[in-house]
Structure 1
């Protein structure tokens, strides 16, 4: 007599509506025809606003201007700017002509910017002149000679930007109709660079089909209609902003509300109150900043009902306060990665508080997930830990010009291997328990030690470097660098290392802690023991 087979950690998402098979431009045109007079986009800080009729018209003008500038299907257009209305207009204008938008993290410094411009073969770069401490115009000038594909740079608000718009207004609209007619929903439309364990960022290449459907599904689970107004303080350069935010709105006729160019708790609260937002996005640290602001009680948040928290685990007390003090009774938790457009799992309206803080929900409609034994590749039973893999419409086309890296991430059966360890319960809810790789998640940013280690090796006094994550109350994790110095080198401090890295690495990639050591903990075969290194880091930092 044989025992019953265990229930395996596999599930597929039940869908009550079919996938959209449209380009992003077609979907926007459809929404604008349904809701021409409703708000599409509001830039709360400046008071600028667009109805769907106006947003479509301005998107078309910019698309025609890009065509006049020689940009066509498959050309890579970079955007280096904080959250602005122009960022959003460019997102949809490039989609309308089939140009591939390369979203660049506005925290990048010259080292990273040069790499992305060259790796993606960006021919046109649209950039803000500056933001906070970043002089983008100066950065671009300093590296432009190293980027042979870069034919043109257009600074937002400049005469060059105005010239592009003027050319678009003077152009024959038939050019745009012809360009759109030559597009397929399966065409690549977006490249987002993610840090990689190889030390160099990899360009996750996403299609109209990937990101339009993912945004639509996220919005549908949040219950969006044309009556919703979504406050989006998360960055557009990441899927959280441009897919879960913008595309979730435009695919449902909802309103995109930009509270400001970068996250500010007061500006965010003011935008929610002033625009009567029904939904608010953020990573847990953003919600913590809003809840802890002394003036939070002066803002009318009564229109809020839902939102999304993602990027890091949500503390129980924070979730309780988001529900009770902000009125977000239908707030959802999302899990995913850029390579999956990005959301693979999401909690549902009506899920318990425990499900929203201890799990990342269940599989999205039209997708599959399974948990496998990393050693055998076999699906593990429910309740056992395994590597989370996902398959379906959302899986990226591949890493730009890196078929070898694509093959390492996506197997022959089209399963995307996330590298995250998880457990699936009897109801199909997933809990993330750890990471196979050494990725560090700092305040919602995914950081890969290898990239930072390779940069540290460029320091003339460092002969070897290892980077690990250590626990942090505010950001979840912080970076700690272990370094060996060359003989005769002067003593190094965290401050001197930060000075070396400033303007070369994004601020969040610069290690907060530094430990100067003679040796690293090693295995008998000569491999660095990062688990032990993390444990030692916590002890050493605690002891000063």
Structure 2
């Protein structure tokens, strides 16, 4: 069933089970329109910064399990996935059989039911996707854990999600060079972190590869049972249709932890409805219609690759996903693009910079690569131009914007967007999504061109933070999610990100947005990455500190020369007082800068007095 939304009427979500609208809409039975470049401009409520993504398409009110069945009926013989580092290729029909067998094994053997939380703690392997799809079939909630977690962090994820089962690398796993999984899981389940008891709800540990763990490897009080994934996938039992039919579109599908760029991760809970529409609408807006070999170098535990990447073939059956590596490796990355004729790439700004630098240094050619979808952080305008110059076949470099809490898509640039708008903005609201920019103090709409906080409402918004109602209430009110990002909107609905509200720096009473300074510094050809944070100052409250990573084998400016360069382009209070030359930045596993750590490190390096709370 799909719900037709008229162009200007908004879609509101007030709770986990009800989608309320201004008035009833016609129920129709066709998929999203795939007319090439048939786009409606967003409605913009001039002179204020409010826009709504109009569309000739439809919102899909189905579960992901239903979409899997539809795909199987139409084209089970098409290639579905290639794992370059595992030397593996799967067609959808074989994959569909595997996920059904695993889903029934999870139900009958592991006692996993609709609404139970299942954890996965692993790197990017083929079976990660098998496990995700099997959970979605059953209505189990997949809780994704960072494969680099250590025992304290893993304990937090297990407890926060209240995992009933955990899929992870087994003993003697080929993933052991990424992390010491066997040691960490034993430490995690043998300790009582934060004076809490042991997680008695965890009943099953399943080895994705390697050897099965002996059950006496864990504390006997937990009574944990252990299994091997390959044996569970051999459970030859037909899929029980009643299990799929019991799952509802508004049911929780995934718990995805936020990146931790500003502190301890929170578990964003996303529904089947959110995921189904996000992948369909985002990828349609980015023109992924027809055949496309899409490379996924980003970690699956995050929503960018774990939703838009892994679920994409459900919305666009002619597409195929390519997994390049287990652990970040530029050589394998380039090899996978060349060998599998990759035409579409998911990337973060850091990954894009690494790729074009590596290709230029090695003099490699990537003639099949046509388009890039970049997100996860602000993309410097210079990066876009450098990437396209280094890889001339890539004529389309799109920048999207969103958050874990928005499933993850929120805005995007369309195929007919000008190069200037693609480089300077994050695009317009996606179909059926509302975006408004409000004053941080009054919460009232600001006028076009004025800076404010970005809020959004629509099919993309999470149910809430898992088991954290107070934190949910702080960011989610009347269906509006507060991104805590600062931005501006123009009269066409194009949005430009200025920075994080938590990254706003106040210098002598003047508001300073780091991205403006970073863009100026990126004008210098010697600078690969520039990032600005605020540090305490007794006189002015805060001062600016710029972290600079220079390119290799090029002349480098002195810190004084950088300061003089900024003086010629910025107001005096926006000129950094401090510069730090670095080789790298503290990053999350999704390659986002952790500015709160950079700020602490800056204070230590500069021997400044920390700001009093």
TM-score range relative to shorter protein = 0.7 to 0.9
- Cα-to-partner distance string for 1:329-357 (whole Å, 9 max, x where unaligned): 22211111101101101111132222122
The secondary structure found in structure 2 opposite 1:365 is coil
Runs of 4+ residues over 6 Å off in structure 1 = 439-444, 506-510
Provide the rounded CA distance (Å) in 1 between the counterparts of 2:543 and 2:306.
30
Question: 1:408 is matched with which residue: 474, 490, 503?
Answer: 474
Q: Name the CA shift for 1:6/1:275 in 2 (closer, same or farther; >3 Å).
A: closer
- Cα-to-partner distance string for 1:292-330 (whole Å, 9 max, x where unaligned): 115776644222222211122222332123323322222
Provide the rounded CA distance (Å) in 2 between the counterparts of 1:152 and 1:170.
17
The 8 Å contact of residues 208 and 228 in structure 2, kept in 1 or not, is answered as no
Q: Name the CA shift for 1:48/1:474 in 2 (closer, same or farther; >3 Å).
A: farther
Provide the rounded CA distance (Å) in 2 between the counterparts of 1:122 and 1:235.
21
What is aligned with 2:234?
169
The 8 Å contact of residues 233 and 282 in structure 1, kept in 2 or not, is answered as yes
What are structure 1's unaligned runs of at least 5 residues?
450-466, 476-505, 528-544
What are structure 2's unaligned runs of at least 5 residues?
1-44, 191-197, 213-225, 505-513, 519-527, 535-541, 551-591
What is aligned with 1:289?
354
Question: 2:116 is matched with which residue: 70, 75, 88?
Answer: 75
What is aligned with 1:60?
100
| Mean CA deviation greater in 283-292 or 154-163 | 154-163
| Mean CA deviation greater in 315-324 or 231-240 | 315-324
**C-alpha displacement of 1:46:** 2.2
Provide the rounded CA distance (Å) in 2 between the counterparts of 1:414 and 1:227.
36
Does 2:297 match 1:236?
A: no
Instruction: Output aligned runs, 1:517-532, within 5 Å.
Output: 519-522=609-612, 527=613
Provide the rounded CA distance (Å) in 2 between the counterparts of 1:198 and 1:99.
29
The 8 Å contact of residues 310 and 333 in structure 1, kept in 2 or not, is answered as yes
The 8 Å contact of residues 330 and 350 in structure 1, kept in 2 or not, is answered as no
**C-alpha displacement of 1:165:** 4.1
The secondary structure found in structure 2 opposite 1:431 is strand
The 8 Å contact of residues 188 and 205 in structure 1, kept in 2 or not, is answered as yes
Provide the rounded CA distance (Å) in 1 between the counterparts of 2:359 and 2:98.
39
The 8 Å contact of residues 187 and 207 in structure 1, kept in 2 or not, is answered as yes
- Cα-to-partner distance string for 1:380-426 (whole Å, 9 max, x where unaligned): 11001110000001100011111111111101x21000111100011
**C-alpha displacement of 1:226:** 4.5
Does 2:274 match 1:210?
A: yes
**C-alpha displacement of 1:14:** 1.2
| Mean CA deviation greater in 272-281 or 154-163 | 154-163
**C-alpha displacement of 1:171:** 4.1
Instruction: Output aligned runs, 1:237-252, within 5 Å.
Output: 237-252=301-316
- Cα-to-partner distance string for 1:8-57 (whole Å, 9 max, x where unaligned): 10000012211122211211221232222211010012220111111111
Does 2:384 match 1:319?
A: yes
Provide the rounded CA distance (Å) in 2 between the counterparts of 1:62 and 1:22.
22
Provide the rounded CA distance (Å) in 2 between the counterparts of 1:518 and 1:321.
37
Provide the rounded CA distance (Å) in 2 between the counterparts of 1:251 and 1:364.
16
Instruction: Output aligned runs, 1:114-133, within 5 Å.
Output: 114-129=155-170, 130-133=175-178
The TM-score normalised by the length of structure 1 is 0.79
The TM-score normalised by the length of structure 2 is 0.71
What is aligned with 2:461?
395
Provide the rounded CA distance (Å) in 1 between the counterparts of 2:105 and 2:431.
37
What is aligned with 1:40?
80
Question: 1:333 is matched with which residue: 392, 395, 399?
Answer: 399
What is aligned with 1:25?
65
The 8 Å contact of residues 391 and 415 in structure 1, kept in 2 or not, is answered as yes
**C-alpha displacement of 1:472:** 3.4
RMSD: 3.0
**C-alpha displacement of 1:73:** 0.9
**C-alpha displacement of 1:66:** 1.2
**Count of aligned pairs between the two proteins:** 467
Provide the rounded CA distance (Å) in 2 between the counterparts of 1:147 and 1:114.
9
The 8 Å contact of residues 219 and 249 in structure 1, kept in 2 or not, is answered as no
**C-alpha displacement of 1:157:** 1.3
Q: Name the CA shift for 1:357/1:10 in 2 (closer, same or farther; >3 Å).
A: same
The 8 Å contact of residues 230 and 249 in structure 1, kept in 2 or not, is answered as no
The secondary structure found in structure 1 opposite 2:310 is helix
Provide the rounded CA distance (Å) in 1 between the counterparts of 2:282 and 2:593.
30
**C-alpha displacement of 1:137:** 1.6
Question: 1:360 is matched with which residue: 419, 422, 426?
Answer: 426
What is aligned with 1:113?
154
